[in-house]
Structure 1
Amino acid sequence: MPVLPAQPAQLPELMPAPGAPFGLYIHVPFCATRCGYCDFNTYTPAELGGASSGATPAGWLAGLRTELALAAARLGTAPPVSTIFVGGGTPSLLGAAGLAEVLDAIREHFALSSDAEVTTEANPESTSPAFFDGLRSAGYTRVSLGMQSTAPHVLATLDRVHSPGRPLEAAREASRAGFEHVNIDLIYGTPGESDDDLLRSVDAAIEAGVDHVSAYALIVEDGTALARKVRRHELPAPDDDVLARRYELLDQRLDAAGLRWYEVSNWSRPGGECRHNLGYWAGGQWWGAGPGAHGYVGGTRWWNVKHPSAYAAVLSDRRLPVADFETLDRATSHVEDVMLRVRLRAGLPTALLGDDERARAARIVDDGLLRADGDLLVLTDRGRLLADAVVRDLLV
């Protein structure tokens, strides 16, 4: 049983900034198995206690309902919710009925805008045509599917349990159920992956007809099974030069198919951008509900207790399950604003920069990593490969 906080942190007054997008992030902490590269706040059945611990989907949902009620009361008159993102973990383990209950709980306490984007992540092996039909009936508008690769040996290295073709069929099932917006996640740079492995995966995503692709370089996170294998020299660490080449290959293939980058790791057809994630990158606000979820409203950022049992225990006393919080000062907010906005194809407004930063930006433009587009600074193709370095050079 996890150690419970003696007293949850008490959030200061939260004043949503007027005019900023407002979203909800819901964290589902359950997975059937643990992937070797994953360090997310997720738990398999073997890692959780019995039903009495509260660490079950039913106990989680009861806690979520309480947290949403407390959140709505704390915010007072909250702005209409423009985006909802149910992530994890594996939300699809709840089934369509469970995910419909999540949306019902949200609607009970929050007003949704008429064009709200409602997304859930899903692992292909826990989906079906009936699952997608149920999601559409419940009001979900977007699905994000974890594919990672179509190469069996790459999936094995990542400890993914779905068959190579299942994500593609799931994408088609979602489209047939009426979803106009379907995302596929890819990971590139896995040990043993070839350029052709990656391109076959990209081509398969394109052929499945999705309107959005997210592609992430494999990162070896401390404490994961993958990190232990790399440390024991059972697998090589990802190579930076290989990662850069793979990024260029997938970008070229996606762009040729009409999916253009709009954030360094995200490509979409026109209108297919993930509005919820754009809220994160462009200064929006959101309440994060669920174990370990993060929220940000009115300059205050907080994070919940991580273990599902601790989450359930705090909420059983009708207290917000906040582990801690921080109030961002102007300097920290500025750094984060620059760091996030520079990653967007929409560009970084030069008006956000101080005089010294504009001078440094001019030098970065001369180096060919940024281009000036009116009053905006936009990463070049080479700049996208070095986005973190661009941010460091801007903010030095």
Structure 2
Amino acid sequence: MKRNLFITMLLLFVYVAPLRAGSISGTVTYDDYQFGQVIIVMAFGDEFSLDNVGTAVLFLGPGDFSITDLADGEYQLAVAVKTSLEMTIVPGEVFSMYDDNPVAIENGQDVAGINLVARSETIQGTVIYEGDSSGSIVAVAFNQDFSQGLFPSNLNQLDAPGAYQMVGFSPGSYYIGAFMDANGNLLPEPMEEPFTIYAHPDSLMPSPVPVDEGAVVEGIDLLLEDLPLSSATGTIVWEGEPTGPIVIAAMTNPEEFSSAQRLSFTLESGEYRVWVEPGLYYIFAFVDLNGNFFPDITVDATGFYGASDPQLVAVSEGETVTGIDISLAIQPNGIESPELTSETGIFITQNHPNPFFVGSNGTVISYILPKSTVIDLSVYDVSGRRIVTLDHGWRPTTTQTVRWDGQDERGESVADGVYLYQIKSSEWSRARRLVLLKK
């Protein structure tokens, strides 16, 4: 009897024994520290919130830090340089993410040797908004590849429209946006809140902003507008695991993604909403695997409302059209457009990214032929002068993809500006416009 009681008490002790909490420790480096500044190291768990985050505070400048009592899981580390202990990120204050996020804790382990660098690289501009404010305005930045989902690379909390200044970027490319934070969670919800992403003046599509080492990038102005009163809603069906946002577009031409009038996005399949002005639209969605807000017909899972026979959706003033369900799939031949015939001719995509930057990885163009034939695909300036031939010869009907790095036939970088690319055969010809920018 005593033996059984002892075993029962032992099992109970084992059952209620608390799990050991883990910790993250390391060093903060900041070359521009000034006396009186406070350095706050932050460890964000599953949900991003400045009100619920593990912290370590360094009052005497850069040095060693340790964040304790952390449960098992993955954490996003950041360092902020502030003049107070208030948990907000205002214009001009440093907010730098750890380059090797996320940091994982397993079995209550202590993760040491983290080197956090508070940086001075800056993006700044103005948020313009003339509507009725229903919350604070947040300027926000995301890695171009969305490798951390919608976890921000940087942000500013603004009491009113006006200037923002996000400081603390690692060199790279970022999407810069602004949204009305009605629910105070510091994350954009484009299906419910006014939201915008910076687009270069020569492009209607979201444009990444490159940040070089030591750079201060100016003039990234953001126009925030109230949501239209009309919308289309439905369900996104996708059996895979998104590694980027699912982008939903309301397009006026099913073969021209650049005809999109409105974009929305979500991080998971399920219900969606895209806000539109009254009109007729093709509703299209894709999993943005490479984070460029442009469908890559060779790898992205895509789908139209109406599947292979895209259907127009009529939206009236103030109306919410429901039941616009879309199933996403990797297209067998990499093309989401209607079947090609000898009458429809060559199908060629809009280049992406567009615009693209001199010295970047270039821009990608894909095409498919209705039958095997000899083609020529070349880039021309606006005067009609051939700049470079990208592809030439006998090609089959499978999808072909080429890349242009912004160089001419001699391997020299061309001037920034607007260019035309044209594919032609003895029977067909198609041309589109692209934009090349300097950093």
TM-score bracket relative to the smaller structure: under 0.3
Structure (1/2) with the larger strand percentage: 2
Which has the larger Rg?
2
Q: Which has the higher contact order (CA 8 A, sep 6+)?
A: 1
TM-score normalised to structure 2 length: 0.24
